[in-house]
Amino acid sequence: MGFGAMRICGPGILGWPDDRENALRVLRRAVELGVDLIDTAYAYGPEVSELLIAEALHPYPEGLVIATKGGVGRTPSGAWSRDGRPEHLREACEGSLRRLRLDRIDLYQLHGPDPSVPFEETVGELARLRDEGKIRYVGLSNVGVELLGRAQALVPVVSVQNRYSVADRSSDVVLDECERQRIAFLPWYPLAAGDLARANGALVRIAGAHDATPAQVALAWLLARSPVVVPIPGTSSIAHLEENVAALELELADDELAALS
């Protein structure tokens, strides 16, 4: 189980949180609970999430992977904007290195392809950053199987991060390809539940049978979906963090998995 560090920022994922000390406590508690992957991005804040991670956890415990992203920025109004230009990726990566107080980023992910920039130009810069030792491994986000293959022609890809949950199976084909190649699949927005979370829905019924919450069942379903799945639920609440991590102990029966599938 990873931790998504998007929601430790201020409202709208912009600026500093109202309770900065709480954000630091959440990050430290995640590591105490055994979380060994923290996922962030330059665009979260912007910069705020990375700065909070370094303030809370540096020097980082051995074995803790800090994964961040570049290729998406924020406009002055707070809107998300794709920017796959090689020069932007380099600037974003070097900024992340400074903010996270790292000599090398364990996992650097393309936040999303930019339709205005040739994909090979964008990924080619990630390959150069890897060759220079600024990043250890390359990951992709918000891509399909075709783009995954094009990226792999230029650089090894160790992870894909797409939107995926018990209610959103749009990346089933991508997940299946990741499992075939033993590439980590990091589902973002993993707690989306849709109609399954209705009062009489399958999530609620199964949660009641296990004295669990629907969110825990949704995470348990993801963990059972494939051995390469690493959910990265995010929260600004210690109570919700502890609830999410406890889903690791929840085992669903075959008929329960079938009801959710």
Greatest alpha-carbon span in the chain: 54
As beta bridge partners, residue 105 has 135
- From 42, 44, 108, 164, active-site residue: 44
| Rounded CA separation 229/253 (Å) | 18
| Rounded CA separation 3/244 (Å) | 9
Q: Residue 20, SS3?
A: helix
Is residue 44 part of the annotated active site? The answer reads: yes
| Rounded CA separation 136/113 (Å) | 20
| Rounded CA separation 235/33 (Å) | 14
Q: Which of 246, 141, 248 is nearest to 186 (CA)?
A: 141
| Rounded CA separation 35/150 (Å) | 32
| Rounded CA separation 198/219 (Å) | 17
**Residues forming the active site:** 44
